[in-house]
């Protein structure tokens, strides 16, 4: 290997630079060449795993993290493998490797946090709560862990308790947008819609560009029968995430609700151009055209609905999103 050492080092450094520049395809080429020269380089495997993850080559990312663990079974390496399983929704494997991390380091607080998230996403809320509490015991001044504990209680339907922990997180960090968003959800589910509106607005004031916050705010305004304000917030969400047809569908429905039929039709037509077999959008288009007496266009839409329903094509649905979303777990840098 001695004669190849300078070449390996150059490939590794160039690959890492390409990775951090966001040029993942080039980084993959360089780092794969480097690992062929030195298959025992943990640093190279680590950066290659990050490349695979960014390219959504998840199986390769997992295999790379496993190789790292084979070479160096450290708490950090086990934790990073667990995070990759978590980010790929393989929560049982994530749980296994978070536990292995803690076996080697009982004070590895991020692993308890990861366990809480994995159990929460597996709907094992008691275990989620238990592990978030352990994380808080280790780092009692960490606002994220109080927010996460509240998230687990919220998923379990214990909204009053969840509110207590979201407020605790906000005592530590008054501008903690995730905690504000989750607090707003809790108020919403308790039907305290005015408090929900105030809380979501506060999250927006602190600079969040999360479309889900605007959607949640729109839901609350709908419950308060303030449909114009609801529509404004659906529009903000659609502008922030223009490729999300679920959000656009909600915006279209809201436009219809306030009598802006032509604008609602425009939004649905955008969806059907992108997803020609979106059953719900064609059905709503037919209803909207029928309501303005454009019967020929309405009939054409309804025929499209029948053809999609009777055909073998996959039907696209647009489910309503009224649940807190799964949080992302970050790997630990080497």
165-203 residue pLDDT tens? 999 999 999 999 999 999 999 999 999 999 999 999 999
101-148 residue pLDDT tens? 999 999 999 999 999 999 999 999 999 999 999 999 999 999 999 999
Alpha helices in 21-90 (DSSP H): 24-37, 42-54, 58-71, 75-87
Q: Report yes or no: 45 and 64 within 8 Å, Cβ to Cβ.
A: yes
280-295 residue pLDDT tens? 999 999 999 999 999 9
In a domain, residue 257? The reply is yes
Instruction: Give pairs for 51-58: CB < 8 Å, separation 24+.
Output: 51/15, 51/19, 51/24, 51/27, 52/28, 53/84, 53/87, 54/19, 54/24, 55/24, 55/25, 55/28, 58/84, 58/87, 58/88
| Residue 37: pLDDT over 60 | yes
* Cβ burial 53-67 (10 Å sphere, 16+ → b, else e): beeebbebbbbbbbb
Q: Please tell me the predicted confidence (pLDDT) of residue 311.
A: 75
Q: Please tell me the predicted confidence (pLDDT) of residue 110.
A: 97
Percentage of the chain modeled with pLDDT above 70:
92
In a domain, residue 119? The reply is no
Q: Which of 248, 327, 256, 325 is nearest to 287 (CA)?
A: 256
| Alpha-carbon span 224 to 212, nearest angstrom | 18
For residue 143, give Cα distances in angstroms to 72, 193, 223: 32, 25, 30
Q: Report yes or no: 184 and 201 within 8 Å, Cβ to Cβ.
A: no
In a domain, residue 296? The reply is yes
| Residue 49: pLDDT over 80 | yes
Percentage of the chain modeled with pLDDT above 90:
89
| Residue 332: pLDDT over 70 | no
Q: Please tell me the predicted confidence (pLDDT) of residue 207.
A: 81
Picking from 29, 56, 72, the residue at the C-terminal end of a domain is 72
4-32 residue pLDDT tens? 678 999 999 999 999 999 999 999 999 99
Domain count, the chain: 2
Residue 235 token pair:
């529009």
In a domain, residue 9? The reply is yes
In a domain, residue 115? The reply is no
Q: Report yes or no: 211 and 234 within 8 Å, Cβ to Cβ.
A: no
Report the pLDDT averaged over residues 211-235.
Answer: 96
The 3-state secondary structure of 80-98, one letter per residue: HHHHHHHHCCCHHHHHHHH
Q: Which residues contact 249 (CB under 8 A, 6 or more apart)?
A: 267, 268, 271, 280, 281, 284, 318
- Element at 142 (helix H, strand E): none
Q: Report yes or no: 268 and 280 within 8 Å, Cβ to Cβ.
A: no
In a domain, residue 37? The reply is yes
236-250 residue pLDDT tens? 999 999 999 999 999
Report the pLDDT averaged over residues 258-264.
Answer: 97
Q: Please tell me the predicted confidence (pLDDT) of residue 210.
A: 87
Report the pLDDT averaged over residues 147-170.
Answer: 97
Place of tokens 């919220």: 154
Picking from 46, 72, 98, the residue at the C-terminal end of a domain is 72
Domain region containing 262: 243-319
> What confidence tier does 322 reach under pLDDT thresholds 50, 70, 90?
very low
Picking from 72, 107, 135, the residue at the C-terminal end of a domain is 72
Q: Please tell me the predicted confidence (pLDDT) of residue 1.
A: 45
What is the model's pTM?
A: 0.84
Phi and psi dihedrals of 192, rounded to 5?
Answer: -95, 75
> What confidence tier does 333 reach under pLDDT thresholds 50, 70, 90?
low
Q: Report yes or no: 17 and 34 within 8 Å, Cβ to Cβ.
A: no
CATH code at position 19: 1.25.40.10
In a domain, residue 152? The reply is no
| Residue 268: pLDDT over 60 | yes
In a domain, residue 157? The reply is no
């Amino acid at each position: 290997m001695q004669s190849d050492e300078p070449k390996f080092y150059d490939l590794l450094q160039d690959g890492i630079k390409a990775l951090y520049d966001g040029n993942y395809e080039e980084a993959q080429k360089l780092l794969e060449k480097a690992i062929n020269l030195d298959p025992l380089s943990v640093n190279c495997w680590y950066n290659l795993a990050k490349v695979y993850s960014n390219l959504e080559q998840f199986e390769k990312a997992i295999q790379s993290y496993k190789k790292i663990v084979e070479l160096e079974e450290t708490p950090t390496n086990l934790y990073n493998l667990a995070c990759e399983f978590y980010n790929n929704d393989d929560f049982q494997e994530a749980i296994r490797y978070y536990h292995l991390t803690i076996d080697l380091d009982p004070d590895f607080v991020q692993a308890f946090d990861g366990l809480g998230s994995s159990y929460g996403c597996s709907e094992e809320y008691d275990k989620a709560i238990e592990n978030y509490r352990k994380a808080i015991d280790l780092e009692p001044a960490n606002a994220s862990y109080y927010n996460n504990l509240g998230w687990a209680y919220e998923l379990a339907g214990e909204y009053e308790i969840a509110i207590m922990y979201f407020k605790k997180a906000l005592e530590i960090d008054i501008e903690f947008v995730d905690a504000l968003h989750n607090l707003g959800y809790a108020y919403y589910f308790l039907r305290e819609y005015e408090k929900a509106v105030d809380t979501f607005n506060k999250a927006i004031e602190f600079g969040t560009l999360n479309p889900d916050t605007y959607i949640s705010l729109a839901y609350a305004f709908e419950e308060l029968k303030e449909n114009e304000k609801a529509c404004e917030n659906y529009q903000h969400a659609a502008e922030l995430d223009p490729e999300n047809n679920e959000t656009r569908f909600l915006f279209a429905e809201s436009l219809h609700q306030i009598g802006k039929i032509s604008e609602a039709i425009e939004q649905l037509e955008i969806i059907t151009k992108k997803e020609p077999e979106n059953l719900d959008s064609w059905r709503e288009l037919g209803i909207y055209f029928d309501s303005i007496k454009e019967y020929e266009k309405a009939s054409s839409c309804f025929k499209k609905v029948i053809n999609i329903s009777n055909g073998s094509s996959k039907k696209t649905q647009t489910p309503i999103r009224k649940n807190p979303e799964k949080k992302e777990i970050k790997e630990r840098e080497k």
